[in-house]
Amino acid sequence: MAIAVICPSCHARFQVSDQYAGKEGPCPKCKTKITVPALADEVKIHGPAEYGGAKDAQGRAVLKPIERAETKVQPAMVVGVIGAIAFAFIVAFFLRSSVDWKSSAGTIVLGLGAVVLAPPLVLGGYSFLRNQELEPYRGTAVIVRVAICSAVYAGLWGAIWALKHFLIGDASPEIWQYLIVFAPPLGIGALAALATLDLDFGSGVFHYVLYLGTCILLRLTMKLPLV
pLDDT at residue 150 is higher than 90: yes
**Average pLDDT, integer, range 172-195:** 86
pTM of the predicted model as reported, rounded to 2 decimal places: 0.63
* Position 35 confidence tier, pLDDT thresholds 50, 70, 90: confident
Same domain, 163 and 100: yes
Does any domain span residue 48?
Answer: no
pLDDT at residue 151 is higher than 90: yes
Query: What does the mean pLDDT of the chain come to?
Result: 80
Which H or E run contains 24? Answer: strand 24-26
Does any domain span residue 167?
Answer: yes
Q: What is the pLDDT of residues 91-105, one digit of tens each?
A: 888 877 777 767 777
b/e map of 98-113 (b: 16 or more CB within 10 Å)?
eeeeeeeeeeebbeeb
pLDDT at residue 153 is higher than 80: yes
Same domain, 22 and 115: no
Same domain, 157 and 86: yes
* Position 204 confidence tier, pLDDT thresholds 50, 70, 90: very high
Same domain, 126 and 192: yes
Same domain, 96 and 203: yes
**Average pLDDT, integer, range 36-41:** 70
**Average pLDDT, integer, range 136-156:** 93
Q: What is the pLDDT of residues 57-71, one digit of tens each?
A: 666 666 665 555 555
Q: What is the pLDDT of residues 5-21, one digit of tens each?
A: 788 877 778 777 777 77
Does any domain span residue 67?
Answer: no
Same domain, 108 and 188: yes
Same domain, 92 and 149: yes
Does any domain span residue 62?
Answer: no
Same domain, 27 and 118: no
Same domain, 82 and 184: yes
Does any domain span residue 61?
Answer: no
Q: What is the pLDDT of residue 186?
A: 92
pLDDT at residue 210 is higher than 80: yes
Q: What is the pLDDT of residue 135?
A: 84
Q: What is the pLDDT of residue 70?
A: 56
Outline where the chain has alpha helix (H): 75-95, 104-129, 139-167, 175-197, 201-221
Q: What is the pLDDT of residue 62?
A: 62
- Structural domain including 80 reads 75-221
Does any domain span residue 188?
Answer: yes
* Position 42 confidence tier, pLDDT thresholds 50, 70, 90: low
Does any domain span residue 95?
Answer: yes
Which H or E run contains 15? Answer: strand 13-17
How many CB atoms lie under 10 A from the CB of residue 19?
9
Same domain, 114 and 190: yes
Same domain, 27 and 136: no
Q: Under DSSP, is residue 198 helix (H, G, I), strand (E, B) or coil? A: coil
The CA distances from residue 3 to 23, 26, 30, 205, in Å, are 12, 15, 19, 51
Same domain, 134 and 198: yes
Does any domain span residue 47?
Answer: no
Q: Based on the structure, what is the number of domains in the chain?
A: 2
Q: What is the pLDDT of residue 105?
A: 74
